[in-house]
Amino acid sequence: MSWRGDPVWLADVLRDAGLRVLEHDGWRDRGHGDFADIRGVLCHHTAGGGRNDWRIVQNGRPDLPGPLAQLVLEKDGTYRVIAAGVCWHAGRGSWPGWPTNNANYHTIGIEAVSRGDGSDWTPAQLDAYKRGCAAILRRIGRTASDCVAHREYSHEGKIDPAGIDMDEFRAEVQALIDGEDAPMSAAEVKQIQDFITGFCGPIGSDVKDIREQLCGLNERDANQYGGWPQLGGRTVVDALAEVLSRLEKLEA
């Protein structure tokens, strides 16, 4: 099973995965024609590393008209949605299950903002990279084996995305695909119920438990909470208020 046609759902699918998304004006109509069927995601780095890297991806270079990828992934983990049509990012190459030298018409390109030496990835960016790939692959009905580095596909000596171990990357992408996909087994549900019961007491006593967490243990009277010894007999709210007032004094 593959998705047929343009991925006009890109922004929604990324947002639904909890990712920050910037939709560029006209993205749904941008591209070098329409997709055949989409079989995977091709991962790149921009080899720039700055805030304006997206401009080249959207507008192109003197030798290559834009758009050059459907998505740009910023260092803070935000996805810029640039195009829904075919983009020039793959070049010549091959990968099992993809048409040789024709990946532009069958893969979504993600250009991640990076200098290109593997040293400047941020944790937020790497996390969003995996989550974005997982969300797209799920949408098109593919597994992490169709999440491919440009350097793995390319017959033209590409090195991107530098510094990312793709076997590790794919394992984490697959775990995300499975995690979101797999329904919980009865045994897992029971395990969670037992944990909650062990932690909070039998169901029904949870409201009292939350009150105690905030206000301190109550051993005698249902309406009186004595604060926490660790907080000098204060409730959580009173202790926080004390911390804030001391901080304000420090700043003044």
* Residues of the shown chain interacting with Zn ion in the complex, contacts defined by CB under 5 A: 44, 150, 160
Question: Minimal distance in Å, beta carbon 207 to Zn ion?
Answer: 55
Residue 129 has phi, psi (to 5 degrees) of -60, -50
The CB-of-227 to Zn ion minimum distance in angstroms stands at: 59
- Tell me the closest approach of the beta carbon of residue 86 to Zn ion, in angstroms: 15
CB of 47: closest distance to Zn ion in angstroms? 8
Q: Which two tokens stand for residue 237?
A: 């709210």
User: Which residues are within 8 A (CB) of 22 and not within 5 positions of it... i.e. 6 or more apart?
Assistant: 78, 79, 80, 81
Residue number with CB closer to Zn ion (46 or 174): 46
Beta-sheet pairing, 60-61 with 64-65? antiparallel
CA-wise closest residue to 148 among 42, 37, 38: 42
Decide whether 160 or 172 has the Cβ nearer to Zn ion: 160
- The maximal CA–CA distance of the chain, rounded, in angstroms, is 80
CB of 39 or CB of 151, closer to Zn ion? 151
Nearer to Zn ion, 154 or 235 (CB): 154
Angstrom distance (rounded) from CA 37 to CA 119: 35
